[in-house]
Structure 1
Amino acid sequence: MTEELMKNISFSEPHRLLEQVDYADEKVVSRTLANTSGVGITLFAFSEGEGLSTHSAPGDAMVQILDGEASVTIGGKEVTAKTGEIVIMPADVPHSLHAHVPFKMMLTVVKKRKSED
């Protein structure tokens, strides 16, 4: 049997990304679609006022805003992203997110290759 690299979503049929994760009051809801040594793909739904505290990622990260609006702070610089927009965050640079209104996003992290020592 072949290892499935994608999970938590059915194969070979169309899906609406917005319907794959639901809002919950005063919570951040996530649904991981892939998490391999090379890539991570996760859907998130944030209620208003929620966010992710400052952290860094082991690879370049792309946030695609599917619904709503959020502020993204990258290395101390804050930008606002709205529905249909993307923001790229470089590997190992501290970043955070804050929901101005309820918002949904898809996070794709392209991870660095592990060096062979």
Structure 2
Amino acid sequence: MTSPRWATSCAGAVTTSLIKTPASQLMRMVLRAGADVPEHSVPGAITVQCLEGEATVTTPSRACHLATGRLVVLEGGEPHAVHALTDASLLVTILLHTGQPAVQGQRLTHFPDTESPP
């Protein structure tokens, strides 16, 4: 489903690397409704924030629905896939060469988590 807002804000938009430094990479991922990013992993911890639309990030143990403003954090090396439920724009941040866990003892964190109390 394409929203009227999408037609003006993302018309012709493509996935783009916005910033890449030795420590991190920031990308805007643009997916059309129904598009899939197959399961893969990256060495560094990542965040995926939904800028607009809706998508699902799936790991072997959990699926997280992302709508505008929602954020998911994954450990480096965590296998994951992405499915666009609607046309979607995602902000992906990858931490490179840190060797530090993204979250303490958790494989996946979902913010804001409306299913769990703070």
Report what 2:86 is aligned to. Answer: 101
Partners of 1:64 and 1:106 within 8 A in 2: yes
> Normalised by the size of structure 1, how large is the TM-score?
0.70
Partners of 1:51 and 1:98 within 8 A in 2: yes
Aligned partners of 1:80 and 1:23: how far apart in 2?
A: 24
Aligned with 2:10 (options 22, 25, 28): 22
Give, in angstroms, the shift of residue 37 of structure 1.
2.3
> Normalised by the size of structure 2, how large is the TM-score?
0.70
SS of the residue aligned with 1:33? Answer: strand
SS of the residue aligned with 1:59? Answer: coil
Give, in angstroms, the shift of residue 85 of structure 1.
0.6
Partners of 1:23 and 1:46 within 8 A in 2: no
Give, in angstroms, the shift of residue 96 of structure 1.
0.5
List gaps (5 residues or longer) in structure 2: 1-5, 100-118
Aligned with 1:34 (options 19, 31, 34): 19
Counterparts of residues 21-100 of structure 1 (less than 5 Å)? 22-23=10-11, 29-100=14-85
Letter in 1 for 2:10: D
After superposition, the CA RMSD in angstroms is: 2.1
SS of the residue aligned with 2:29? Answer: strand
| Residues 23, 61 of structure 1: alpha-carbon distance in 2 compared, 3 angstrom cutoff | farther
Structure 1 residue runs of 4+, over 6 Å off?
none
Q: If you compute each CA radius of gyration, which structure gives the higher value, 1 or 2?
A: 1
List gaps (5 residues or longer) in structure 1: 1-17
2:98 corresponds to 1:110: no
Give, in angstroms, the shift of residue 23 of structure 1.
4.8
Aligned partners of 2:59 and 2:72: how far apart in 1?
A: 10
| % identical equivalent positions | 26
Aligned residues: 92
Comparing 80-89 and 32-41, the one that deviates more: 32-41
